[in-house]
């Protein structure tokens, strides 16, 4: 960010200095916005750091495992709950009520359900493109069309999804599932604001300590960090070490409970391919497995279109499910 030589600034997409200063600027804008909304400076900084930590961890999980579905709920208000309930009385501390409320609101919007995250999957897409299209390219000008395509797709998705949400919520009273739900999007419009934002904030107001405060939280945090660190070191030190730290982190997550058998089948197929054909057969089979994934997505898209056509014709609607829900 501060060196002037070309080698230090070289990057496939943007000069590293531009990226670094843009990162600092955007984080500062978020802190300023939070303070304008009523949060304290410390509360705003802690919230931003927690968001970055969560996205970093999820990004590492995706990079290590290739999972497209990482549901790892992380309460962003946990540091304040632990600081108010788990520390000795002489060391306990609190943030302002507005800071806590905004923290729980960001938790409900960004980290309560991390099934898909642009902060994670955009860099992942760039890395996949690096390997596939720009293995030896160092000029960031050549990648501008890709960056433009990504930005355009995000903008189109934002406009289309936003318009669709407004149209659906103001047009229909309930869903067309086998078990109709009303209001549509009840969790986002009613459940999340009530249980995560309002109730959590009310319980945090002194003498409360928070919605899920329990003694031993800091001890649990230290133990989890220690186990993850030890597993990471052993995995880096010994090639045949069988336990991945991601398994410990996600063992009790709801998403992994939905996918464990699929992951087991993928692992079993990989072991059989490596044992029968070695690394060569593994590399050659990647295209086949990628084709299965794309084919599955194409089938889902086709039957989704069929269901929409049937609905427009007044016929019975059948929900099409792709990712675990």
CA angle 228, 230, 235 (to 5 degrees): 95
What pLDDT score does 322 carry? 66
- Is the pLDDT assigned to residue 290 strictly greater than 70? yes
Domain boundaries, the chain: 6-215, 253-325
DSSP-assigned states of every residue in 31-93? HHHHHHTT--HHHHHHHHHHHHHHHHHHHHHHHHH--S-------TTHHHHHHHHTS-TTT--
Per-residue pLDDT tens for 222-277? 898 999 999 999 998 998 888 889 888 888 888 788 788 888 888 899 999 999 98
What pLDDT score does 11 carry? 64
Percent above pLDDT 90 for the chain: 23
**pTM score, whole prediction:** 0.80
Spatial contact of 311 and 176, defined as CB atoms under 8 Å apart = yes
Which residues contact residue 241 at a Cβ distance below 8 angstroms, ignoring those fewer than 6 apart? 234, 235
What pLDDT score does 137 carry? 65
Per DSSP, the chain holds a count of helices (H) and strands (E) of 13, 0
Per-residue pLDDT tens for 49-95? 999 999 998 888 888 887 777 888 888 988 888 888 777 766 778 88
Q: How many CB atoms lie within 10 A of CB 158?
A: 11
Q: Report, as an integer, the average pLDDT of 199-219.
A: 74
Q: Which of 107, 112, 118 is nearest to 158 (CA)?
A: 118
Q: Which of 126, 149, 117 is nearest to 14 (CA)?
A: 126
Alpha-carbon distance of 7 to 15, in angstroms, equals 10
Spatial contact of 59 and 125, defined as CB atoms under 8 Å apart = no
What pLDDT score does 52 carry? 93
- Is the pLDDT assigned to residue 173 strictly greater than 80? yes
What pLDDT score does 325 carry? 45
């Amino acid at each position: 960010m501060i060196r002037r030589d070309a080698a230090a600034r070289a990057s496939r997409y943007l000069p590293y200095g531009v990226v670094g200063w843009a990162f600092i600027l955007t984080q500062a804008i978020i802190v300023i916005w939070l303070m304008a909304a009523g949060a304290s400076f410390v509360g705003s900084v802690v919230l931003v750091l927690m968001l970055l930590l969560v996205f970093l961890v999820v990004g590492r999980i995706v990079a290590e495992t290739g999972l497209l579905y990482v549901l790892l709920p992380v309460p962003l208000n946990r540091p304040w709950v632990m600081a108010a309930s788990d520390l000795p009385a002489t060391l306990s501390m609190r943030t302002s009520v507005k800071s806590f409320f905004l923290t729980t609101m960001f938790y409900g919007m960004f980290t309560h359900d991390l099934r898909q995250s642009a902060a994670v999957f955009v860099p992942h897409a760039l890395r996949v493109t690096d390997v596939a299209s720009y293995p030896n390219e160092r000029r960031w000008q050549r990648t501008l069309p890709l960056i433009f395509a990504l930005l355009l797709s995000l903008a189109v998705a934002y406009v289309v999804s936003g318009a669709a949400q407004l149209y659906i919520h103001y047009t229909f009273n309930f869903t067309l599932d086998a078990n109709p739900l009303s209001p549509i999007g009840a969790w986002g419009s009613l459940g999340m604001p009530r249980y995560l934002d309002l109730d959590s904030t009310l319980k945090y107001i002194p003498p409360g300590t928070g919605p899920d405060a329990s003694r031993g939280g800091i001890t649990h945090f230290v133990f989890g960090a220690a186990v993850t660190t030890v597993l990471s070191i052993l995995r880096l030190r010994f090639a045949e070490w069988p336990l991945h730290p991601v398994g410990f982190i996600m063992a009790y997550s709801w998403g992994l409970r939905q996918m464990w058998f699929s992951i087991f089948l993928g692992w079993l197929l990989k072991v059989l391919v490596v044992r029968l054909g070695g690394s060569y057969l593994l590399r050659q089979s990647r295209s086949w497995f990628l084709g299965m994934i794309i084919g599955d997505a194409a089938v889902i898209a086709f039957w989704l279109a069929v269901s929409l056509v049937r609905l427009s014709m007044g016929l019975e609607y059948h929900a099409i499910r792709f990712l675990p829900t």
